[in-house]
């Protein structure tokens, strides 16, 4: 499949009025395959994965990493790089007294995270969809406002309706977005956590959607259909004191 990723990214940016770049992630079993991507950047410093994602979505860089480029097991575990999921990691001891009041609570949090299994992948590349450098990425992602997110979801539900059920793991919310999308192969919405906002540059009003890339075109087609019915983002305010019937009559026949 030869997807025109520049066109897909442009459609998302136009329909959702995105303020950052739609991007993709791709895992590699052999690090040499990642390093063969044309003009890929390799980190000069130790980062969180949130920072690498920020470099793709805010700066337009295509960045390749291995386990050694990430600051610790929490970042590595979500994407399955290195032998991250040790007994110590599963115990949550490093988060006890920091994010959770007890070792039991911290361990429950670790167990609740969606993570790619260890052992298969050596490297990960993150970069803008429009560049096409990742070929067919494993997942596509974008940051947007809550209003844009519900419009994207409405587009997904235009045909072949499905109810979406998402959870909130709390801190390490990347497990709700890219971790869940990589493992469950489903569209996955998250509320970015403290680390994503502090280290990844995520804005206060932004949410994150991660999805297998084939869902993007479905949502785009759905949003275009909704647009023909007068439903477009951003949603125009009608007024809290107006007679609603005139407004609703535009969309509903009775």
pLDDT band at 249 (very low <50, low <70, confident <90, very high): confident
- pLDDT tens per residue, range 49-96: 999 999 999 999 999 999 999 999 999 999 999 999 999 999 999 999
Positive or negative, the CA dihedral 195, 198, 201, 205 is: positive
Tell me what pLDDT residue 82 has.
93
- pLDDT tens per residue, range 101-135: 999 999 999 999 999 999 999 999 999 999 999 99
Q: What is the secondary structure of 219-252 as a DSSP string?
A: HHHHHHHHHHTT--SSPPP--TTS-HHHHHHTT-
- pLDDT tens per residue, range 156-204: 999 999 999 999 999 999 999 999 999 999 999 999 999 999 999 999 9
- Round to whole Å and give the CA distance between 216 and 140: 8
Say if residue 1's pLDDT is above 70.
Answer: no
- Round to whole Å and give the CA distance between 114 and 181: 9
Positive or negative, the CA dihedral 142, 143, 148, 151 is: positive
8-state DSSP, 70 = B
- Round to whole Å and give the CA distance between 117 and 42: 24
């Amino acid at each position: 499949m030869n997807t025109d990723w520049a066109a897909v990214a442009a459609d998302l940016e136009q329909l959702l009025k995105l303020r950052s770049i739609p991007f993709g992630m791709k895992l590699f079993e052999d690090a040499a395959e990642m390093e063969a991507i044309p003009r890929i950047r390799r980190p000069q410093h130790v980062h969180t994965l949130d920072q690498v994602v920020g470099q793709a979505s805010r700066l337009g860089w295509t960045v390749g990493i291995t386990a050694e480029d990430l600051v610790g097991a929490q970042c590595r575990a979500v994407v399955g790089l290195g032998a991250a999921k040790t007994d110590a990691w599963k115990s949550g001891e490093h988060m006890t007294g920091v994010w959770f009041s007890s070792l039991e609570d911290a361990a429950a949090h670790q167990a609740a995270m969606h993570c790619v299994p260890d052992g298969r992948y050596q490297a990960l590349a993150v970069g803008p969809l429009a560049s096409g450098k990742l070929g067919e990425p494993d997942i596509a992602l974008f940051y947007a406002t809550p209003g844009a997110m519900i419009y994207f979801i409405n587009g997904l539900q235009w045909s072949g309706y499905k109810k979406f059920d998402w959870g909130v793991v709390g801190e390490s919310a990347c497990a709700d977005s890219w971790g869940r999308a990589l493992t469950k192969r489903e569209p996955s919405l998250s509320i970015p956590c403290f680390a994503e906002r502090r280290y990844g540059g995520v804005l206060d009003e932004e949410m994150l959607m991660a999805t297998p890339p084939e869902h993007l075109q479905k949502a785009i087609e759905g949003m275009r259909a909704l647009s023909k019915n007068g439903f477009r983002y951003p949603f125009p305010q009608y007024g809290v004191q107006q007679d609603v019937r005139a407004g609703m009559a535009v969309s509903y026949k009775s």
